[in-house]
Chain A
Amino acid sequence: MISFEIPEKIKNQLTMTEMVAKQVMRPYSRHYDEHEHDRPKEFIEMMWPIMKQQNKAQVDRWKANGSASKKEGPNTAILGLILNIEMLSYGDAGQYLCIPTGGLGGAAVEAVGTTEQKIRFMSRFAEGDKPAWGAMAITEPDAGSDNSSMRTTAVLDAETNEWILNGEKIFITSGALALQESNDFCVVWATVDPAAGRKGIKSFVVEANTPGVSVSPGLDKLGIRASDTVVLSFQDARIPYDNLLGSAEVKEADTSKGFQGAMKTFDASRPAVAASAVGIARAALEFTKETLAAEGIAVDYTKPRHQLTAVERDLLEMEALWKTAWLLTLKATEAIMHGRGNRLEASMAKAHAGTAVTRITQKAVELLGPLGYSRETLAEKWMRDAKINDIYEGTRQINLLIVARAILGYSRRELK
């Protein structure tokens, strides 16, 4: 039965998150935009106990029954996550990215790791006084969209039973938070067999303080400036054998682990990026509508199309972009909730939301006139923040490729 209903429990949770968004994040939005490499400590301190509690429930489940205890009924946790991400990004997308938790690194451990590894690596997000972060490093200077051509190598030293990592990773979100400012980890993707292509790519948990790992100063960005983005270099960095997630074997049909595992984490993280985009879009749309309404300019939803003013049309179009982005995000989430594959839906949502929020926020700056362009309000910041959603977790073009291959039934070779 078609339904858009959100469970009461999640709605209540969202009321709390909305308070955080409005009272903890927004008041500092401008500050952390202008003090790029400061950490949003108010938000981090506020969120750590909450994240800890959530993560503890998950870690306890792993401890209780080994692998996964399949719960009956739809997976509402993912829905709660997506709705909360939307709300936190409505608060501030840059600060949201500093949320102390496993992040993409944690998602990779969950997707590919054994139960023992999940407990070993994820427990830190469930306990302790100090906040903890996980990061994930796939992108390299010469391997961005084409990440299967990555050059970072992992060579096994049979004598010490350690992996030796060499290479460079760029644009790593929360890399300094995870490796420098706390005692946590980054999941690094590297090849154990450069000749083997995708099949040779494996993921490794690199802990903070590993000799041979260096973290660059934070990169200076257009937007999401509160978020930490660094370059990681590995020079003969040695890590224990069983920090390899999944299997070390280079197999022909490797479906669930290895590179495929990395791609699988995207099926959940792309809706998350889409949700973040939608949150920024909602903030910009709401602010634009309120500001215009104060000047007596509001959309009359009962007017026929030919009587709409140009501004009303713009606002309707922005609203439609926002709404379609949100509903496609929910569609990608609903598939996960009910245990269906969502590769197509996830990329549809991500491709659309990234571009939708880019257009909405650019239009907001336009409609708001001098106020939009001014750094006294947040509109211009939202426009700068928005654009990242068109880029990371696969650019718009890469996600369109995935959508197109799926609808055409094409392989990577048929549609490059």
Chain B
Amino acid sequence: MLNFELDQEQKMLTDAIGRLANERMRKVSRDADEEGHIPPEVAQAGWDLGLLPTGIPEAYGGFGEYSVTTNVLAIEELAFGDLAIAAHILSPNNVAIPLLLCGTEAQKEAHLPLFCEGTMPHVTAAMQEPGLQYDARNLKTTAVLADNQYTLNGKKSLVPLADTAETFLIYANEDGRTQAFFVPADAAGLTVGEREKLMGLKALPTFTLTLDNVQVPVVNRLGGDAGIDIGLILNHSRVALGAAAVGLARAGFEYARDYAKQRIQFGEPIAHRQSIAFMLAEMAIDIDGARMMVWEATWLLDQGKDATKETAVMKHFADDMAVRVADQALQILGGYGYIREYPVELWLRNARGFVQWDGLVIV
């Protein structure tokens, strides 16, 4: 039956993350962006929420079932706090969720317990590629099989936390299909490049990766003989990115709303003017519309149904929505919006990234 209210557990979870967002993430957000450094204790506090283990079955050391809907509710709240810190806290998902979706029994048994421990595992995923023509379904990085070994060649970008990763999940093109491979950080031919210099998401260390004839045993291919369903993984990634866009936009909206009520010009709060108030109304509608599309897609995914079309339409909308709302928020702050002492310009820079991200920046 049609219902858009969170259940009790989801409410408790989002409340808890909301507190983390307001009391911890927001407090360090600006400095983290300026210094390019996320305080480890804040990331740890996020990890301590135990979001991932709640989605991993007991057999693999977790204590629950993966609910895509609950996951995106959590992501919205984290991104409301700070997108870069959210991406850091969520970076293990980039490996764990594809593993849950497509891993063989043996792979799940081997790797999933790692995600149920008290410290964040040092794993990350590499899907995105540099250059204008990035297409997750048609990657330029190649995987060629010979003598029970895969040889990987190519370049990756936007790999979060690559400098400290011990294991990578690397996506490559094998005979026209996208597959994923577990590669240890010390594999010969795998080089972590310079830290990327980005417009936004500056607090999160991301790197390029070069693969020069990297040898990978055949058993390291995710999903074994069946391989992976890249469409499914992308759909899961897109709802996560969509939820993050919603969370970020909500941050901008709420900040601008509160600001507009206390900023006095011409003798009264600027929110008394329709041109400001209507912008806020449009922002609220934009945000709600995007959120509903995210939820509809997760509702389908939770039932094991295809959501390729839904996630494509949703992402197309949410990517633009985030920029539109962040921009309107900045406009409502006027000159102060342009000043780095205020958080809004940071949200605009972060928002602009969504259209570039498709695949595993945040799952």
Stretch among A3-11, A52-60, A134-142, A364-372 lining the B interface: A3-11
Stretch among A17-25, A202-210, A317-325, A381-389 lining the B interface: A317-325
> How far is the CB of B296 from the nearest CB of chain A, in Å?
5
Interface size range of chain A in the complex: 35 or more
- In the bound complex, do residue B288 and residue A323 qualify as a contact, i.e. CB atoms below 8 Å apart? no
- In the bound complex, do residue A2 and residue B4 qualify as a contact, i.e. CB atoms below 8 Å apart? yes
**Pick the contact of A324 from B137, B280, B281, B290 — CB < 8 Å?**
B290
- In the bound complex, do residue B308 and residue A320 qualify as a contact, i.e. CB atoms below 8 Å apart? no
B309: chain A residues at CB < 8 Å are 301
- In the bound complex, do residue A400 and residue B7 qualify as a contact, i.e. CB atoms below 8 Å apart? no
B163: chain A residues at CB < 8 Å are none
Residues 387-416 of A, flagged 1 when their CB comes within 8 A of B and 0 if not, give 000000000010011011101101000111
**How far is B4's CA from A189's CA once the two chains are assembled, in angstroms?**
35
Quick one: given A7-B1, A307-B135, A327-B289, are A400 and B317 in contact (CB under 8 Å)?
no
Quick one: given A351-B281, A408-B277, are A320 and B5 in contact (CB under 8 Å)?
no
Q: Is B255 an interface residue (CB 8 A)?
A: no
Quick one: given A316-B313, A334-B2, A338-B3, are A404 and B280 in contact (CB under 8 Å)?
yes
> How far is the CB of A400 from the nearest CB of chain B, in Å?
4
B290: chain A residues at CB < 8 Å are 324
- In the bound complex, do residue A2 and residue B6 qualify as a contact, i.e. CB atoms below 8 Å apart? yes
Q: Is B34 an interface residue (CB 8 A)?
A: no
**Pick the contact of A338 from B5, B69, B137 — CB < 8 Å?**
B5
- In the bound complex, do residue A403 and residue B299 qualify as a contact, i.e. CB atoms below 8 Å apart? no
B3: chain A residues at CB < 8 Å are 1-3, 74, 334, 338
> How far is the CB of A379 from the nearest CB of chain B, in Å?
21
- In the bound complex, do residue A331 and residue B292 qualify as a contact, i.e. CB atoms below 8 Å apart? yes
Residues 116-160 of B, flagged 1 when their CB comes within 8 A of A and 0 if not, give 000000000000000011111100000000000000000000000
Q: Is B263 an interface residue (CB 8 A)?
A: no
Residue with the greatest number of chain B CB neighbours at <10 A, chosen from A305, A334, A410: A305
**How far is B281's CA from A317's CA once the two chains are assembled, in angstroms?**
20
Secondary structure at chain B's binding surface: helix, strand, loop or mixed? helix
**How far is B31's CA from A32's CA once the two chains are assembled, in angstroms?**
65
> How far is the CB of B133 from the nearest CB of chain A, in Å?
7
Q: Is B219 an interface residue (CB 8 A)?
A: no
Q: Is A330 an interface residue (CB 8 A)?
A: yes
Residue with the greatest number of chain B CB neighbours at <10 A, chosen from A5, A313, A327: A327
- In the bound complex, do residue A305 and residue B277 qualify as a contact, i.e. CB atoms below 8 Å apart? no
- In the bound complex, do residue A404 and residue B281 qualify as a contact, i.e. CB atoms below 8 Å apart? yes
Question: How many A-B pairs with Cβ below 8 Å?
Answer: 142
Q: Is A302 an interface residue (CB 8 A)?
A: yes
Q: Is B43 an interface residue (CB 8 A)?
A: no
- In the bound complex, do residue A415 and residue B271 qualify as a contact, i.e. CB atoms below 8 Å apart? yes
Quick one: given A301-B309, A319-B313, A324-B293, are A306 and B132 in contact (CB under 8 Å)?
yes
B265: chain A residues at CB < 8 Å are none
Residues 72-85 of A, flagged 1 when their CB comes within 8 A of B and 0 if not, give 00101001000000
A408: chain B residues at CB < 8 Å are 257, 260-261, 271, 277, 280
A338: chain B residues at CB < 8 Å are 3, 5
> How far is the CB of A155 from the nearest CB of chain B, in Å?
37
- In the bound complex, do residue B285 and residue A328 qualify as a contact, i.e. CB atoms below 8 Å apart? yes
Q: Is B358 an interface residue (CB 8 A)?
A: yes
> How far is the CB of B242 from the nearest CB of chain A, in Å?
11
**How far is B285's CA from A304's CA once the two chains are assembled, in angstroms?**
26
**Pick the contact of B288 from A305, A331, A397 — CB < 8 Å?**
A331
A301: chain B residues at CB < 8 Å are 308-309, 312-313
**How far is B292's CA from A330's CA once the two chains are assembled, in angstroms?**
10
- In the bound complex, do residue A305 and residue B289 qualify as a contact, i.e. CB atoms below 8 Å apart? no
- In the bound complex, do residue B281 and residue A400 qualify as a contact, i.e. CB atoms below 8 Å apart? yes
Nearest-neighbor residue (CB-CB) of A10 within chain B: B2
Q: Is B231 an interface residue (CB 8 A)?
A: yes
- In the bound complex, do residue A317 and residue B358 qualify as a contact, i.e. CB atoms below 8 Å apart? no
Question: For residues 316 through 371 of chain A, which have their beta carbon under 8 Å from a beta carbon of chain B?
Answer: 316-317, 319-320, 323-325, 327-328, 330-331, 333-334, 337-338, 348, 351-352
Q: Is B314 an interface residue (CB 8 A)?
A: yes
B271: chain A residues at CB < 8 Å are 408, 410, 415
Q: Is B195 an interface residue (CB 8 A)?
A: no
**How far is B185's CA from A46's CA once the two chains are assembled, in angstroms?**
71
| Sample of 16 further A-B pairs with CB below 8 A, known A301-B313, A331-B288 | A305-B358, A317-B316, A324-B289, A324-B317, A327-B292, A327-B296, A333-B2, A334-B4, A351-B281, A400-B277, A401-B278, A401-B281, A404-B280, A408-B260, A408-B261, A414-B272
Write the residues of chain B forming the contact surface with A, with a CB cutoff of 8 angstroms: 1-7, 69, 132-137, 231, 257, 260-261, 271-272, 274, 277-278, 280-282, 284-285, 288-290, 292-293, 295-296, 298-299, 308-309, 312-314, 316-317, 319, 355, 358
Question: Would you list 11 pairs from A and B whose C-beta atoms are within 8 A, ordered by A residue?
Answer: A302-B231, A305-B358, A324-B289, A328-B288, A331-B292, A400-B274, A401-B278, A404-B278, A407-B281, A408-B280, A415-B274
- Top 4 A-B residue pairs of the complex, sorted by shortest distance between their CB atoms: A324-B289, A327-B292, A320-B317, A404-B277
